[in-house]
Structure 1
């Protein structure tokens, strides 16, 4: 009887641990983030080309975690986390009267992406997590 109970507890612990495993994802940037909107704060991922910098206002990083619903894929929640982090960067840039965020990077723990086409995210059965960082600047306008 005790052996069965112990085996049941071990099995429960193993199943719980297996469900909490976070996978590091490298996903394509959504097309909406790769195009610039003149009405919004521009985002330049990695070393994407941009107009000359008139003023640098510092760097900012936001860490984001989005809980996962049972029907959501890991990719979906990673995209939500990225959208939330980018929105926080843009909101902060607006508060600083900046018109762009350059050198935008994403990371999960120590796994960073400086790519203009992909982003890093940590995804588990419980949710997705990432950090978004960028340099807040005012770019010269034509």
Structure 2
């Protein structure tokens, strides 16, 4: 009797933990985030070409976790997390009076992506997590 109860408890714990496993995903960068608005802080992912740097304000990282809504897919939740993290990065750049963030990378744990076409996100049944990092700068303008 005790053995059956112990096995039942172990099985319940394993099933609960299996549902919460976070998977590292590489997803396509949303098109809206790939365009640059001259009125906003420009984002340059990875080694994308940009104007010469006039002033640098250092490297900044923001991590975001978004809870998944029942009707949302993991991809949608990852996109929302990315959008929120990039907005925080832009807000910080504005506070520094910078006009761009260069060398932008996305990260989940030790998996890093430096790409204008893909980003890294950790997705589970409960939500999505990622971090964005970049160099906050003022670029020369013509």
Scaled by the length of structure 2, the TM-score of the pair is 0.95
Unaligned runs of 5+ in 2: none
| In structure 1, distance between residues paired with 2:3 and 2:54 | 71
The aligned residue for residue 16 of structure 1 is 16
RMSD between aligned residues:
1.1
**Superposed displacement of residue 12, structure 1:** 1.1
The aligned residue for residue 123 of structure 1 is 123
The aligned residue for residue 56 of structure 1 is 56
The aligned residue for residue 85 of structure 1 is 85
**Superposed displacement of residue 91, structure 1:** 0.1
The aligned residue for residue 46 of structure 2 is 46
Where 2:9 maps in the other structure, the secondary structure is helix
| In structure 2, distance between residues paired with 1:59 and 1:7 | 50
What is the number of equivalent residue pairs in this alignment? Answer: 142
**Superposed displacement of residue 107, structure 1:** 0.5
Return structure 1 stretches of 4+ with deviation > 4 angstroms. Answer: none
| In structure 2, distance between residues paired with 1:13 and 1:71 | 26
Scaled by the length of structure 1, the TM-score of the pair is 0.95
| In structure 2, distance between residues paired with 1:116 and 1:123 | 20
Where 2:26 maps in the other structure, the secondary structure is strand
The aligned residue for residue 96 of structure 2 is 96
